[in-house]
């Protein structure tokens, strides 16, 4: 019933008077005869309750999304911040320039590197932790769960400051461990080859808690009967994991990987605080490059184009994941 009525009334939704007499309301089209006055009351209430969110959404989301697109076709610069409409239309020049810009291509590659290594590692660690926590231990279960989740709730900036110190070549935790155990440690963040892997390790450390909690909820939703049946049929623990756990976790896997990938593609704080994109642009990510172009050099047209390239990548990767990971058992 709900959807039929909703469909029929889509047209006359907005300008319904607040205190319409019952007779008038009853005569309106689309009421389909059943309790039209109550429906119109719900219509009005529904739209009133939607208004604050929609107002904020239109102002701070819908409009800026369109504005970014428009800005990406202009030469928007510092002087246009005060006079936005004076910006000159340059068509696809910003996009064409990006494809020629080695720095942007490096940033794109680095972001891909971060995602391709970081996302599977985060999901893997989260899954392993969830399976261990779900494997019949009763004691300390909450203790471990809370412990693994703590990094997620802390500010990335603070975490990045802490990790910069952990990796510090002279006073850091790892250098200290090395000195104690008698091996030498590299200067992770100053090395072109090691800086990015260091950021990835830190991101996995910080984000695996989210994946773990989601997988744990997914694991607990698998009915015991299914596992029992598999065991009666002679499935070993490994087979049970491969044939029961993994397929039934598919929806959770899809959600975790989509959300983690979106987050990782937008990586900003970690390189901003820990390396400032260095050494030699080896940790420069698209978001960081966009920030620098937009707010250090005020090349806002070009930065907007970067934002849209990144957004297109996010959309494409999300759609790809939806295709690859969608529930094939249905």
Partner 1 sequence: MKALDSEAAPARPGRTATSGVPGARAVTYTLLSVGLLVMSAPFVWMGLSAFKTQADLGASPPVWIPTTWTLDNFRELLSLMDVGQAFLNSAAVAVLVTLCNLLFCSMLGYALAKLNFSGKRVVFGVVLGALMVPGNLMLLPKFVMMSKMELLDTYAALILPFAAGAFGVFLMRQFMSAIPDELLEAARIDGAREWYIFWRIVLPLVKPALATLTIFTFLGSWNNFLWPLVATNDPDKYTLPVALATFATDPTKSDGSNGVLMAGAFLVVLPVIAVFIALQRHFTQGIATTGLK
Residue numbers 166-185 binding partner 1 by CB under 8 A: 166, 168, 170-171, 173, 175-177, 179-180
Quick one: which of 143, 183, 296, 328 contacts partner 1 (CB under 8 A)? 143
Q: Does 136 bind partner 1 (CB under 8 A)?
A: yes
Site string for partner 1, 110-129 (x = CB under 8 A): -------------------x
Q: Does 20 bind partner 1 (CB under 8 A)?
A: no
Q: How many residues does the chain have?
A: 330
Q: Does 252 bind partner 1 (CB under 8 A)?
A: yes
Quick one: which of 75, 101, 266, 325 contacts partner 1 (CB under 8 A)? 266
Q: How many residues bind partner 1 (CB under 8 A)?
A: 126
- Per DSSP, what are the bridge partners of residue 89? 74
Q: Which is nearer to partner 1, 194 or 313 (CB)?
A: 313
Q: Which is nearer to partner 1, 82 or 329 (CB)?
A: 82
Q: Estimate to the nearest angstrom the gap between the alpha carbon of 193 and the chain centroid.
A: 26
Residue numbers 42-81 binding partner 1 by CB under 8 A: 42-47, 49-50, 52-54, 56-57, 59-61, 63-65, 67-68, 71, 76, 80-81
| Residues 126 and 208: beta-carbon distance below 8 Å | yes
Number of helices (H), then strands (E), belonging to the chain: the values are 17, 0
| Residues 224 and 230: beta-carbon distance below 8 Å | no
Q: Does 99 bind partner 1 (CB under 8 A)?
A: no
Query: Shortest approach of partner 1 to residue 202 CB, angstroms?
Result: 9
Q: Estimate to the nearest angstrom the gap between the alpha carbon of 157 and the chain centroid.
A: 17
* CA–CA separation, 253 and 233 (whole Å): 26
Q: Estimate to the nearest angstrom the gap between the alpha carbon of 182 and the chain centroid.
A: 41
| Residues 312 and 236: beta-carbon distance below 8 Å | no
| Residues 222 and 244: beta-carbon distance below 8 Å | yes
Q: Estimate to the nearest angstrom the gap between the alpha carbon of 279 and the chain centroid.
A: 26
Site string for partner 1, 221-240 (x = CB under 8 A): xxxx--x---x-----x--x
Cα atoms in the 13 Å half-sphere on the side-chain side of 312: 9
Q: Does 88 bind partner 1 (CB under 8 A)?
A: no
Q: Does 6 bind partner 1 (CB under 8 A)?
A: yes
Quick one: which of 75, 149, 191, 281 contacts partner 1 (CB under 8 A)? 149
């Amino acid at each position: 019933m709900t959807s039929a009525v909703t469909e029929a009334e889509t047209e006359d939704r907005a300008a319904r008077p607040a205190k319409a007499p019952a007779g008038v309301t009853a005569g309106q089209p689309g009421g389909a005869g059943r309790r039209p006055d109550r429906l119109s009351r719900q219509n009005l209430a529904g739209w009133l309750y939607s208004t604050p969110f929609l107002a904020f959404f239109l102002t701070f989301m819908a409009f800026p999304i369109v504005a970014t697109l428009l800005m990406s076709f202009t030469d928007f610069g510092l002087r246009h911040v005060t006079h936005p409409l004076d910006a000159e239309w340059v068509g696809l020049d910003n996009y064409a320039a990006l494809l020629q810009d080695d720095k942007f291509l490096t940033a794109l590659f680095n972001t891909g590197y971060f995602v391709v290594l970081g996302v599977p590692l985060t999901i893997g660690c989260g899954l392993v932790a969830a399976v261990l926590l779900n494997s019949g231990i009763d004691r300390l279960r909450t203790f471990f769960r809370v412990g693994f989740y703590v990094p997620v709730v802390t500010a990335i900036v603070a975490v990045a400051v802490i990790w910069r110190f952990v990796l510090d070549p002279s006073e850091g935790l790892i250098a200290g461990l090395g000195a104690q155990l008698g091996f030498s440690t590299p200067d992770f963040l100053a090395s072109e080859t090691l800086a990015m892997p260091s950021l990835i390790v830190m991101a996995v450390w910080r984000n695996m808690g989210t994946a773990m909690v989601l997988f744990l909820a997914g694991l607990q939703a698998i009915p015991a009967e299914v596992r029992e049946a598999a065991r009666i049929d002679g499935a070993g623990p490994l087979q049970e994991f491969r044939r029961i756990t993994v397929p039934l976790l598919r929806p959770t896997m899809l959600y975790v990987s989509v959300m983690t990938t979106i987050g990782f593609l937008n990586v900003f704080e970690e390189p901003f605080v820990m390396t400032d994109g260095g050494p030699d642009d080896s940790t420069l990510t698209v978001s960081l490059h966009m920030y620098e172009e937009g707010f250090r050099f005020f090349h806002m047209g070009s930065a907007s184009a970067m934002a849209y390239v990144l957004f297109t990548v996010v959309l494409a990767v999300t759609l790809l994941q939806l295709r690859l990971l969608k529930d094939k058992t249905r």
